[in-house]
A and B are shown apart, each in its own frame.
Chain A
Amino acid sequence: DAGITQSPRYKITETGRQVTLMCHQTWSHSYMFWYRQDLGHGLRLIYYSAAADITDKGEVPDGYVVSRSKTENFPLTLESATRSQTSVYFCASTGGAEQYFGPGTRLTVT
Chain B
Amino acid sequence: GENVEQHPSTLSVQEGDSAVIKCTYSDSASNYFPWYKQELGKRPQLIIDIRSNVGEKKDQRIAVTLNKTAKHFSLHITETQPEDSAVYFCAASRESNYQLIWGAGTKLIIKP
Q: Complex: how many Å from CA A48 to CA B99?
A: 8
Residues of the B chain whose Cβ atoms lie less than 8 Å from the Cβ of A96: 98
Residues of the B chain whose Cβ atoms lie less than 8 Å from the Cβ of A104: 43
Stretch at the interface among A14-22, A37-45, A73-81: A37-45
Q: B9 to chain A: closest CB distance in Å?
A: 10
From A44, A48, A90, A94, B43 is in contact (CB under 8 Å) with A90
Residues of the A chain whose Cβ atoms lie less than 8 Å from the Cβ of B103: 42
Interface string of B23-55 (1 = CB under 8 A from A): 000000000101000000001111001000000
Interface string of A63-103 (1 = CB under 8 A from B): 00000000000000000000000000010001011110111
Q: Find residues 81-112 in chain B having any chain A CB closer than 8 Å to their own CB.
A: 89, 93, 95, 97-100, 102-105
Check if A34 is an interface residue, CB within 8 A of chain B: no
Q: A42 to chain B: closest CB distance in Å?
A: 5
From B32, B46, B89, B97, A43 is in contact (CB under 8 Å) with B89
B interface: dominant SS? loop
Q: Are A45 and B99 touching (Cβ within 8 A)?
A: yes
Q: How many residues of A contact B (CB 8 A)?
A: 21
Closest chain B residue to A103 by CB distance?
Answer: B43
Residues of the B chain whose Cβ atoms lie less than 8 Å from the Cβ of A45: 99-100
Q: Are B105 and A97 touching (Cβ within 8 A)?
A: no
Q: Are A98 and B89 touching (Cβ within 8 A)?
A: no
Q: Are A42 and B102 touching (Cβ within 8 A)?
A: yes
Q: Complex: how many Å from CA A41 to CA B34?
A: 18
Q: Complex: how many Å from CA A102 to CA B104?
A: 20
Q: Are A97 and B43 touching (Cβ within 8 A)?
A: no
Given contacts A41-B104, A43-B102, A48-B99, contact A97 B44 (CB under 8 A): no
